A and B are shown apart, each in its own frame.
Chain A
Amino acid sequence: MDVQRKLEILADAAKYDASCASSGTEKRDSSDGKGMGSTAPGMGICHSYAPDGRCISLLKVLLTNACNYDCLYCVNRASSNVARARFTIDELVKLTLDFYRRNYIEGLFLSSGIIRNPDYTMEQVVSVARKLREEHHFRGYIHLKTIPEAADALIAEAGKYADRLSINIEMPQETSLQQFAPEKDVRAIRRTMGRLRLKLDEAEDSRSAKTKAKPQRFAPAGQSTQMIVGADSATDHTILHTSANLYGSYRLRRVYYSAFSPIPDASRALPLVQPPLLREHRLYQADWLMRFYGFDVGEIVDERAMLPLEIDPKLAWALRHRDRFPLDVNRASREELLRVPGFGTKAVERIIATRRTTTIRLSDLARLHVPRHKALPFIVLSDHRPSPHRLDEARLIERFKPKATQLGFGF
């Protein structure tokens, strides 16, 4: 089988993993003339976008899609009839470097089906990274998937070469993982995340310690995970509760939500419908509220409940807490401003800097990049005060619902 055909099979097999970022790592470049590559400080670079709206930042492939495990939601499960392939380490190294030289990618995101045993699989994955870093002095981004229960030494080596490590929690509830992925053990996944966090903490401590010893390197872009949404009966509350726990326990940089989408040769046990993309989107919004806006899970969604699909979670929160509005933009605290629908973190910073010297007026909203229709019922400006009736109106929500449109590609 030629490399091109392998690439088709092994990229196809990797496309259900939602993570793609190449951000948040240490700053590196190759200006010393040895080797090639650099990392973009701050945000990563998306080199292309696929028609599914997702960015292509890294060469995202599996080393092999052969797998011992039979996880029902996975296209690569042992009992699936898909074509199988396996890259040699050298093929993958060459492909990564060739793509990188042409500026198609920021680096490599390598995962693998589990073959033989966790240690063997992890060793293969680490070998690719080792070769890229040690033999080719590749300075681009590397994201490796950690195989649960792999030996500690392999995990330490993976962290030495990789910018980010990830391990997928797969399902938001333990019971669904037992049902859909009988060979996977959520305890083993969590134990591995716990080990990763201890190593991340150690590396961080060694960086901040004022000793002359060279700081120990371990996955400077941290760890992330993915949860499949819509394959089991978990509610949004369960999902977000799981996320909050993962963020707090293992200092994950990101939890990715992946709407379960139909796969070729799917199992009968799973819902074969269009993926719940809107639900996925709302979960990402809720996730942001937790991470950047100081919301608690309990505030965003009630126990056993789902996020509304027609409006975003912050707007839904504001409509449930109308007694806290309208808010005077020229006086309110940062925490209060962050809770106004339509106000993003950057807009809030701009507002706070601006109001030190001048009063904010209605006409200023556009220059602050705030969507007027969303924010106006909730705020007071020097020349705007919403009618008290409007905020009490039962039909206020209708204002925000999107207008019905014809389905189409909009192409």
Chain B
Amino acid sequence: MQYITLDTETDFEGWRKAARSLVLHHIEPRDITWAVQGGEAELFAPPAPSPILEVSDGTFNVSAKFVELAKAAILHRDGERFAILYRLLWRLKDNHDLIEVATDPDVAQITAMTRAVHRDEHKMHAFVRFREIGRERAAHYVAWFEPEHHIVELAAPFFAKRFADMPWSILTPDLCAHWDGHALSFTPGVGKSEAPGEDRLEETWRRYYASIFNPARLKVKAMQTEMPKKYWRNLPEASIIKPLIEDAERMTGAMIANAATDPHKPQKRPEAPMKRKPAADDLETLREEAAHCRACHLYKDATQTVFGEGPRSANIMLVGEQPGDKEDLAGHPFVGPAGQMLDRALEEAGVDRKKVYVTNAVKHFKFVPRGKIRLHQKPTTPEIKACRQWYEREVSAIKPELIVAMGATAAQSVFGKITPIGKTRGRLIDLPDGRKALVTVHPSYLLRLPDPRAKALEYQRFVEDLKIAAGLQKKAARAA
């Protein structure tokens, strides 16, 4: 029989050293008794502990997960923890994967202990309440806490990092932690009477606690699950929990019974936001009106109407399909990846983007949410039709010479009917109102092409198409 004594309740290194030696000497779990120096004496304990046997040259490895679990589980107050850990270690020696088996009783028990320790640590981080001794620069902050497990050393670094600029002490029955502004130190446990009994801010804190509580939502059980009663005796706010609960029903009843009073009439009513008066059918008016468009249901889920942009004097109007994710958020057309592609192509073709009016056939983003992203959806004919009024009014405000339709949706809007791109692409077409139209692909089509060669080829075709617009722009510039 081996009788092992560890230095302290939290002596992980001592346990590890002993356990390692015991495993290598093939000493079975049932032949070991574990104890802590100065702890309660075992009933049949021998007068002196067994010496730790010299480790022979053998070696074995356990998973990092076990070490991590063991470091935490050893802080549990259960006196059996050293033995259970050793039993698990003994079994892991021949079955490395056992640690992953959540259903194994030993693994489950150690995991539960670890959880309890971490929960207690978390509660200590949460429920320590410092009380100020002295004032201002000479202040020292002292707290009294009663942890359930041996967690003071585990939990203390958190406070050192958080309250680095103030000296503090956390007193507990097991062990006290101190921070002097530079280093952590530990002293033996003390009694509650050593800790200060009150802080000048506690009444303010209680007032806050009472005010932030909504009596109409009483859920006492939910409170107690997270803040068990065992912690209450050291929480300054806990003293008013009972009266608050007792008063809650009365207060809620009163609120319901008293219902409405005459509304208070503020002396000075805030000015209502100014509504811009429609002047003429200019672009600004159109933009303002379109912002409230309800002609189809697309406005419901979209962020905003993305209206056309560009100078009134533009003689070229580019029409895309509809705003995408980025455009919807920013409120400007062609600012996303397709917009960047378009900018590049325009520059290469020799079109001055600043002199072009850019818009979309459909002015709201159509999509379906898929978790964290929005999947672009093609607009339907009724949606394109509903939005066409804005396109028509933009055309009559800008009076462009040439309208470039990019993609099938745009072509449908420009020609007023479904128009295949393939047959019409890359040449000037007369529109009934005397303007010219040019059909090409949408830049996002180029983005979607997976084959780099096809992509480069299509991009060149796109630039060629835009060169027709460039020629027109130059001719107009010369004429002016």
Q: Are A11 and B199 in contact (CB under 8 A)?
A: no
Residue interface mask A15-34, B partner, CB < 8 A = 1:
11000000000000111111
**Residue B212 at the chain A interface, CB threshold 8 Å:** yes
B residues in contact with A80, CB < 8 Å:
263-264
**Residue B43 at the chain A interface, CB threshold 8 Å:** no
B residues in contact with A53, CB < 8 Å:
217, 219-223, 226
Give Cα distance in the complex from A409 to B220, angstroms.
Answer: 7
**Residue A264 at the chain B interface, CB threshold 8 Å:** yes
Residue in A closest to B259 when the chains form the complex, CB atoms: A272
Give Cα distance in the complex from A35 to B255, angstroms.
Answer: 44
Give Cα distance in the complex from A91 to B354, angstroms.
Answer: 51
**Residue B295 at the chain A interface, CB threshold 8 Å:** no
Residue in B closest to A79 when the chains form the complex, CB atoms: B263
Q: Are B369 and A410 in contact (CB under 8 A)?
A: no
> 8 Å CB contacts to A: which residues of B41-85?
none
Residue in B closest to A280 when the chains form the complex, CB atoms: B217
**Residue A357 at the chain B interface, CB threshold 8 Å:** yes
In whole Å, how far is A109's beta carbon from the nearest beta carbon of chain B?
10
A residues in contact with B255, CB < 8 Å:
262-264, 266, 272
**Residue A259 at the chain B interface, CB threshold 8 Å:** yes
**Residue A302 at the chain B interface, CB threshold 8 Å:** no
**Residue B291 at the chain A interface, CB threshold 8 Å:** yes
Partner-binding segment picked from B124-132, B397-405, B442-450 = B124-132
Q: Are B261 and A357 in contact (CB under 8 A)?
A: no
A residues in contact with B415, CB < 8 Å:
none
Give Cα distance in the complex from A344 to B411, angstroms.
Answer: 50
A residues in contact with B223, CB < 8 Å:
49-53
Size class of the contact patch on chain B:
35 or more
A residues in contact with B122, CB < 8 Å:
45
Given contacts A7-B207, A33-B165, A409-B245, contact A50 B372 (CB under 8 A): no
Given contacts A35-B165, A193-B303, contact A368 B227 (CB under 8 A): no
Partner-binding segment picked from B31-39, B99-107, B280-288 = B99-107
**Residue A261 at the chain B interface, CB threshold 8 Å:** yes
A residues in contact with B417, CB < 8 Å:
none
**Residue B478 at the chain A interface, CB threshold 8 Å:** no
**Residue A156 at the chain B interface, CB threshold 8 Å:** no
Give Cα distance in the complex from A60 to B214, angstroms.
Answer: 13
In whole Å, how far is A134's beta carbon from the nearest beta carbon of chain B?
16
**Residue B193 at the chain A interface, CB threshold 8 Å:** no
Q: Are A357 and B127 in contact (CB under 8 A)?
A: no
Residue in A closest to B217 when the chains form the complex, CB atoms: A52
Given contacts A79-B266, A251-B372, contact A46 B226 (CB under 8 A): yes
**Residue A81 at the chain B interface, CB threshold 8 Å:** yes
Q: Are A30 and B162 in contact (CB under 8 A)?
A: yes
Q: Are B226 and A8 in contact (CB under 8 A)?
A: no
Residue in A closest to B265 when the chains form the complex, CB atoms: A79
Kindly identify which residue among B129, B160, B161, B241 contacts A102, using a CB–CB cutoff of 8 Å.
B129
**Residue B256 at the chain A interface, CB threshold 8 Å:** yes
Q: Are B141 and A274 in contact (CB under 8 A)?
A: no
Partner-binding segment picked from B22-30, B327-335, B456-464 = B327-335
Given contacts A4-B204, A187-B291, A245-B301, contact A104 B266 (CB under 8 A): no
Number of A-B contacts (CB under 8 A): 259
In whole Å, how far is A243's beta carbon from the nearest beta carbon of chain B?
9
**Residue A212 at the chain B interface, CB threshold 8 Å:** no
A residues in contact with B143, CB < 8 Å:
103
Give Cα distance in the complex from A195 to B304, angstroms.
Answer: 12
Give Cα distance in the complex from A78 to B222, angstroms.
Answer: 34
B residues in contact with A245, CB < 8 Å:
301, 369
**Residue A350 at the chain B interface, CB threshold 8 Å:** yes
Q: Are A31 and B161 in contact (CB under 8 A)?
A: yes
In whole Å, how far is A95's beta carbon from the nearest beta carbon of chain B?
8
Q: Are A7 and B213 in contact (CB under 8 A)?
A: no
Residue in A closest to B107 when the chains form the complex, CB atoms: A367
A residues in contact with B367, CB < 8 Å:
248
> 8 Å CB contacts to A: which residues of B227-261?
227, 235, 237, 241, 244-245, 248, 252, 255-256, 258-261
Kindly identify which residue among A14, A55, A56, A194 contacts B328, using a CB–CB cutoff of 8 Å.
A194
Q: Are B126 and A248 in contact (CB under 8 A)?
A: no
B residues in contact with A47, CB < 8 Å:
126-127
Q: Are B100 and A354 in contact (CB under 8 A)?
A: yes
Residue in A closest to B219 when the chains form the complex, CB atoms: A53
In whole Å, how far is A181's beta carbon from the nearest beta carbon of chain B?
13
**Residue B138 at the chain A interface, CB threshold 8 Å:** no
A residues in contact with B129, CB < 8 Å:
102-104
Q: Are B329 and A46 in contact (CB under 8 A)?
A: no
Q: Are A411 and B205 in contact (CB under 8 A)?
A: no
Q: Are B212 and A16 in contact (CB under 8 A)?
A: no
**Residue A68 at the chain B interface, CB threshold 8 Å:** yes
Q: Are A248 and B369 in contact (CB under 8 A)?
A: yes
A residues in contact with B13, CB < 8 Å:
none
Q: Are B301 and A410 in contact (CB under 8 A)?
A: no
Residue interface mask A100-113, B partner, CB < 8 A = 1:
01111000000000
Q: Are B220 and A411 in contact (CB under 8 A)?
A: yes
Q: Are B263 and A247 in contact (CB under 8 A)?
A: no
**Residue B422 at the chain A interface, CB threshold 8 Å:** no
Residue in B closest to A294 when the chains form the complex, CB atoms: B371
21 interchain pairs (CB within 8 A)? A8-B210, A15-B214, A16-B214, A29-B164, A31-B161, A51-B218, A52-B219, A56-B212, A80-B264, A103-B129, A103-B130, A103-B163, A104-B205, A249-B303, A259-B217, A261-B214, A261-B217, A268-B260, A274-B252, A291-B371, A351-B102
Chain A residues at the B interface, C-beta cutoff of 8 Å: 3-4, 7-9, 11-12, 14-16, 29-38, 40, 45-56, 59-60, 68-69, 78-81, 95, 98-99, 101-104, 174, 183, 187, 190-191, 193-195, 197-198, 244-245, 247-251, 259, 261-268, 272-275, 277, 291, 350-351, 353-354, 356-358, 360-361, 364, 367-368, 409-411
A51-B244, A272-B255 given; 19 more Cβ-contact pairs under 8 Å: A15-B211, A29-B164, A36-B163, A46-B226, A51-B223, A52-B218, A54-B214, A79-B265, A99-B208, A101-B163, A103-B163, A191-B331, A194-B329, A194-B331, A249-B369, A261-B217, A272-B256, A367-B103, A411-B245
The 10 A-B pairs of least Cβ separation, nearest first, read A53-B222, A248-B369, A53-B219, A79-B263, A364-B103, A68-B270, A194-B329, A29-B161, A11-B211, A50-B213
